Structure 1
Amino acid sequence: MAERTQYVTLGVGDSLFAIPVARVQEILEPQPLARMPRAPADFLGVIDVRGQGVPVTDLRLRLAMQPAEDTLDTRVIVLEVEIDGGRRKVALRADRVFEVAELDDGSLEPPVRMGTRWQADCVAGVGRRNGAFVTVFDLDRLFAMDGEAVGEVAA
């Protein structure tokens, strides 16, 4: 029997997303940020994670959604991604984190293609969890979207 991938499921607005659990370093509550001047809108700043400066991206803004204030459910997910040929720690701010889970049938469908105006480069595939669609991110591409590699901040 093939080993099934586990995902951390998270919510942003009404949407359900997932990231491979193997890429998650830790999940934190929001904390004070060091803001960076002239940073892209989705780059919130840098947090301290065990003595290391880690850049934080607002997932809502990265996905061109409306900004939202932090709530009691807001979480910062520290990840390891590949940027410019090297592994780096980065973090995503999400509205909430649900659970570590497997997808219903363990498989992903390819992202929907709708033409040239919409790009699904940051989507590894779409699965289902408890009957709901779950969009699984390709984290390396998510952080390289628009040629703006997040993680270039010196700590």
Structure 2
Amino acid sequence: MAERQQYVTLGVAEEIFAVPVTRVQEILDMRPIARLPRAPDNLLGMIDVRGEGVPVLDLRLTLGMGAAIDTENTRIVVLSVETAHGPVVLGLRADRVFEVTVLDSDALDPAPAISAGWSGHCIEGIGRRNGQFVTVLDLDRLLGNAVPAAGRAA
């Protein structure tokens, strides 16, 4: 029997999102972020991760949700994303990180195709965990164009 895909589940507002555990390098407590002048709203700035500058995106703002203040549960998920310029390491600010887990089924439902103005292009699929919906993010589509060239991995 094949190993089931594992995901890191993230909380943003009241929603649950998931990213493949294979893309996650580490999960950090919130820390000071160096702001970048004239950066897009969802690009919070840069942090140092073991001597490497890593851009940090706010998942809430990237998904079109309202900003929120940091709490003791706020985390930065450091992960790898494929961009047009190659692989990039970046941080994703999430309200909280729940667990590393498998979903109730390996099969994901497709994102609903309900509107021409909304394609769900950044959603790999919809799964369930303990009966709750979990949106599995397509990191490359969601974040691949949001990273400045300076954030490229060597």
Q: Same fold (TM over 0.5)?
A: yes
Mapped contact 2:7–2:20 kept (Cα < 8 A) = yes
Structure 2 residue identity aligned to 1:32: P
User: 2:149 aligns to what?
Assistant: 152
**How big is the shift at 1:85?**
4.3
User: 1:67 aligns to what?
Assistant: 67
**How big is the shift at 1:96?**
0.2
Mapped contact 1:28–1:76 kept (Cα < 8 A) = yes
Give the SS at the match of 2:46: strand
Task: Tell me if 1:117 matches 2:106.
Answer: no
Task: Tell me if 1:39 matches 2:36.
Answer: no
**How big is the shift at 1:12?**
0.1
Give the SS at the match of 2:149: coil
**How big is the shift at 1:79?**
0.3
The percent of aligned pairs where both chains have the same amino acid is 57
Structure 2 residue identity aligned to 1:87: P
Give the SS at the match of 1:153: helix
Q: Which runs of 5+ in 2 are unaligned?
A: none
Aligned-CA RMSD value: 1.3
User: 2:126 aligns to what?
Assistant: 126
TM-score norm. by structure 2 comes to: 0.94
TM-score norm. by structure 1 comes to: 0.94
Mapped contact 2:104–2:128 kept (Cα < 8 A) = yes
How far does the alpha carbon of each residue in 1:45-104 deviate from its partner, in whole angstroms, 9 at most, with x for none? Answer: 000000000000000000111100000000000000101141110110000000000000
Mapped contact 1:74–1:94 kept (Cα < 8 A) = yes
Counterpart CA distance in 2 for 1:41 and 1:2 is: 41
